[in-house]
Amino acid sequence: MEYYAVRGGHPLEGAVAVHGAKNSALPILAAALLAEGESVIHNCPDLTDTAGALEILTSLGCRVTREGRTVRVDTTCRQGWAVPDRLMGQMRASVLFLGSLLARSGRAEACWPGGCALGSRPIDLHIRAFQALGAQVLDREGRLFCRADRLRGRHLALPFPSVGATENTMLAACGAEGVTILDNAAREPEITDLQGFLRSMGAEVSGAGTSQIRIRGGLPLHPGSYTVMADRIVTATYLCAVAAAGGEGELLGADGTMLAPVVDTLRLAGCQVEQRPDRLWICRKDPLQPVGTVITGPYPAFPTDAQPLLAAVLAAGQGESRIVETIFDQRFRYTQELKKMGAAISVEGSAARITGRPLRGAQVEAADLRGGAALVIAALAAAGDSRIHGLEHLDRGYESLDQDLAALGAGIQRTTR
């Protein structure tokens, strides 16, 4: 059983390059199915989630190769339309393959994606969008069967700006004749990255990054070539690591403009953060300050994925702050583990009240990806030694968290018991 051994309580100093964005790479890999031939995706992070997406492509007959961070997906021998149950259960983003399979084959089949550690995660908005484009979607004994002899573009609106439903609608709409206009679309930068890849395939897509996305579908697409942007949640993780432990760090290739609410909150907490030409710089020398109330929301609001990371910083600081979580109904489970390090956090419904105080090292267990990263951040700030178990959750979204944090000057090692 592997764990991270962390020696905390001392300031960080160093520089690290931020790897490509998981949440861009996953829809882009699904989009590769839309054309026949070999697409090339650069800066594709090597994570268990991206490996899962590559496995889905392989199971559909595609030839997949990885050389470093460049992935080639050749769809020439593609066949079938079913996403394997095991991968659908492991990774919720597998649902993105339904949109591209529908567009390409007029059929898609998968088991119902399981719930996850963040609470219930329905896919009704994805299904309603497919139906609006003319697909039939049947749920038979826990299996979803999607079928469309012909998809037709139309004007539709999401009741909530879901990231996944926006991406799935874009993918399906590429195979729909005519123009699809999607209102109340999610505006996350990863959606703009998907648009960039689709355009590299010859798709006519515009509006990503705004609430209205327009897709002219039914055009023959060719293989694409694209470089995935730097991961903004990994960036937030390293910013929060330096904020919590103190010291100074440079995040190479990171873009702070996509993380404005996180950067603003860390400044309020007493950090200096500067965007430099090809890097983001952070420094904290003075004690952390409370930040009032932070509310998560769809982009450009404070990202829910950075919520646990900030909570770890505030728990190691001083004074009282509040975090209100509006996206997922059970995203405070990690606070139970933070309490083992001495954190003073009380959760009531969707709000957590955090009173900063010195933390101490402890043995803790990650139960989800960003909750696990929060435990690592807290361990860096805590006096003494910590052990963080449950690394399979962290490996879903961080290529080599231990080596990256060590480059920032942290005392952390991946260890086998």
- Residues annotated catalytic, as ranges: 116
Q: Residue 360, Cβ neighbours under 10 Å: how many?
A: 17
Should residue 93 be labelled a site residue for ligand UD1 when binding is judged by CB under 6 A? yes
In whole angstroms, give the CA distance from residue 25 to residue 50: 7
Rounded distance, CA 162 to CA 188, Å?
10
Total residues interacting with ligand UD1, rule: CB under 6 A: 21
- Identify the residue among 197, 238, 328, 398 touching ligand UD1 (CB under 6 A): 328
Shortest spacing between CB 99 and ligand UD1, in angstroms:
12
How far is the C-alpha of 392 from the C-alpha of 397, rounded, in Å? 10
Look at residue 298 and give its three-state secondary structure. Answer: coil
Q: Kindly compute the dihedral angle of the four CA atoms of residues 328, 231, 407, 379, in this order, to the nearest 10 degrees.
A: 0
Residues in the chain, total: 417
User: Is 307 among the residues that bind ligand UD1 (CB under 6 A)?
Assistant: no
Contact between residue 154 and residue 112 where contact means Cβ atoms under 8 Å apart: no
Q: Does 94 bind ligand UD1 (CB under 6 A)?
A: no
- Of 234-293, which residues contact ligand UD1 (CB under 6 A)? none
Q: Residue 21: helix, strand or coil by DSSP? A: coil
Phi, psi of 332 (to 5 degrees): -115, 15
Q: Integer distance in angstroms from the first to the last C-alpha of the chain?
A: 6
* Residue 124 or 278 having the CB closest to ligand UD1: 124
Stretch of residues binding ligand UD1 (CB under 6 A), selected from 80-88, 120-128, 353-361, 380-388: 120-128
Q: Which is nearer to ligand UD1, 23 or 321 (CB)?
A: 23
Nearest CB to ligand UD1, comparing residues 54 and 327: 327
CB of 272 to ligand UD1, least distance (A): 27
Contact 325, 345 (CB under 8 A): no
CA 262 to CA 288: how far, in whole Å?
15
Query: According to the binding rule CB under 6 A, does residue 139 interact with ligand UD1?
Result: no
Q: Which is nearer to ligand UD1, 82 or 186 (CB)?
A: 186
DSSP assignments along 87-134, one per residue: HHHH-GGGGHHHHHHHHHHSEEEEEPPP-BTTB----HHHHHHHHHTT
| Among the listed residues 40, 125, 179, 347, the single contact to ligand UD1 using CB under 6 A | 125
Query: Per CB under 6 A, does 373 bind ligand UD1?
Result: no
How is residue 405 written in tokens?
A: 């944090």
Cβ-based nearer residue to ligand UD1, 93 or 373: 93
Could you tell me the smallest distance in angstroms from the CB atom of residue 338 to ligand UD1?
19
Amino acid, single-letter form, for residue 8: G
- CA distances (Å), origin 71, targets 22, 25, 54, 228, 243: 13, 10, 9, 11, 34
| Closest CB to ligand UD1 among residues 2, 160 | 160
State which residue, 50 or 386, has the beta carbon closest to ligand UD1: 50
- Between 171 and 210, how does the x/- string for binding to ligand UD1 read (CB under 6 A)? ---------------x---x--------------------
The one among 17, 42, 150, 160 contacting ligand UD1 by CB under 6 A: 160
**CA 145, CA 37: separation in Å to the nearest integer?**
26
Residue identified by tokens 């004749």 is 177
Residue 393 contacts ligand UD1 per CB under 6 A = no
304 is an interface residue for ligand UD1 by CB under 6 A: yes
Q: Which stretch, 116-124, 139-147, 263-271, 310-318, contacts ligand UD1 (CB under 6 A)?
A: 116-124
To ligand UD1, the closest distance from the beta carbon of 6 in angstroms equals: 24
Residue with tokens 């996180």: 262
Q: Binding segment for ligand UD1 among 115-123, 132-140, 193-201, 245-253 (CB under 6 A)?
A: 115-123
SS3 278: coil
Closest distance of CB 91 from ligand UD1, Å: 8
Amino acid at 137: V
C-beta of 165 vs 313, nearer to ligand UD1: 165
What residues line the site for ligand UD1 (CB under 6 A)?
23, 26, 92-93, 121-126, 160, 162-165, 186, 190, 304-305, 327-328
